[in-house]
Amino acid sequence: MKRKAIGVILAGVITVMISACGGTDSGAQATDAQGDISATESAEEVVVKPTAEPTRSPEEVIDEALTEGRNYYYGYNDVTADNDKAMEAFEKAADLGSADAFYYIARIQDRAEEYEKAKESYDKAVELGSSMAKIGLGMLYQKGKAVDKDFDKARALYEEAIDEGCIEANVGLGDIYQSGYGTDADAVKSMEYFELAATGDETEWVCYAYMSMCYLNTGVYEGIEKNEDIIDEYGEKLCDLCRNWNPENMDYVGLAFELAENYEMANKYFEKGEQLGDAESINRMTRLYFFGEGVEQDYDKALEYAEKAGSMGNVHGMENAADMYRYADYGRQDIDKAVEWYEKAAELDDC
């Protein structure tokens, strides 16, 4: 009996010694395990799962795409004008059924002389409710591009757009009366329509109105006296609006001053166009120096401008350079160079 009692006592002592020396304590293990579980559960409770971004409505996507497209179309907000990028943005909005997007797509196609495509896009824009598209569609009927020429149809489209609140459509009626399309020409009435259009918001048609009013004030239209101050006023407004996306309008203002026989002012606007890289404005400088209009006659300068314009792909510049090299009258005859420029012009000119 004593031995058994001693064995039990020894076993108890050994157990206590193992515990004291860091041996495994099943009770402590259980406690630690429970602690870990509690900590894990607590951590899971405070984890914040990322919330999904709210889905944008089709209207929001359209607005964003139209803003981006207009920035690239007009060169707004420090963006370089780029029709390819503008088209990409407008197509996103068009996929969601935006009438405005189809209108701008049509304008890009129209300016690229893709008239069949432009007609389809204008029609789609009108179908979706765009009044502005009726201006472009009317211009196609007025000029007979992709459709038979029809002045009555053009006029009806302009008037419909105006009735719908599109004040810019007055450019169409202004055009009709300026040139006498299907009616008697009336410069005074034309001016009234262009003045209305110029109060609109769409940059492209406002520019069109300013450009047209520059010509109406050159003194060559019955009922309107020559007014060079107004040409310059509208010319400056036109240039401010178009310098980022369509610098060739400088050329039109310069031509208006040529019609008014103010070659010094013509030169001013051609130089503006040159600074903005407009090849036609550069080519116009050829004429001024060739004839000595507003500047001292200088054949070398004339040839320099012709070749510069030609090297930028301007057919008229190529032809002017070729002519100056062809004839001995100007002291620069070089038949090989003349042939070279004529051949380049022939490759581009499909007239």
Q: What is the pLDDT of residues 109-165, one digit of tens each?
A: 999 999 999 999 999 999 999 999 999 999 999 999 999 999 999 999 999 999 999
- pLDDT for residue 52: 64
333 token code pair: 């005859």
- Residue 331: the pLDDT is 76
Task: Give the mean pLDDT of 312-336.
Answer: 92
Q: How far apart are CA 227 and CA 202, in angstroms?
A: 26
**What is the predicted pLDDT for the residue at 3?**
40
pLDDT at position 40 over 50: no
Position 118 scores a pLDDT of: 98
Is pLDDT at 29 greater than 50 in this prediction?
Answer: no
How would residue 328 be classed by pLDDT, with cut points 50, 70 and 90? confident
Going by C-alpha positions, the residue among 215, 160, 165 that lies closest to residue 173 is 160
- State which amino acid sits at residue 100: D
Supply the pLDDT for residue 47. Answer: 61
Count CA within 13 A, CB hemisphere, residue 344: 20
**Quick check: 267 pLDDT over 90?**
yes
Cβ contact 136:103 at 8 Å: yes
Average confidence (pLDDT) over 228-257: 93
Please tell me the least confidently modeled range out of 53-57, 83-87, 151-155: 53-57
170-190 tens-digit pLDDT: 999 999 999 999 999 999 999
The answer to whether residues 100 and 66 touch, using CB atoms and an 8 Å cutoff, is yes
Taking residue 333's Cβ as centre, other Cβ atoms within 10 Å add up to 13
Q: What is the token pair recorded at 262?
A: 């103010």
Rounded to two decimals, what is the model's pTM?
0.80
pLDDT of the residue at 71: 97
Task: Give me the sign of the Cα torsion angle 246, 248, 252, 254.
Answer: positive
* Amino acid (1-letter code) at residue 123: D
- For the segment 74-82, the average pLDDT, to the nearest whole number, is 95
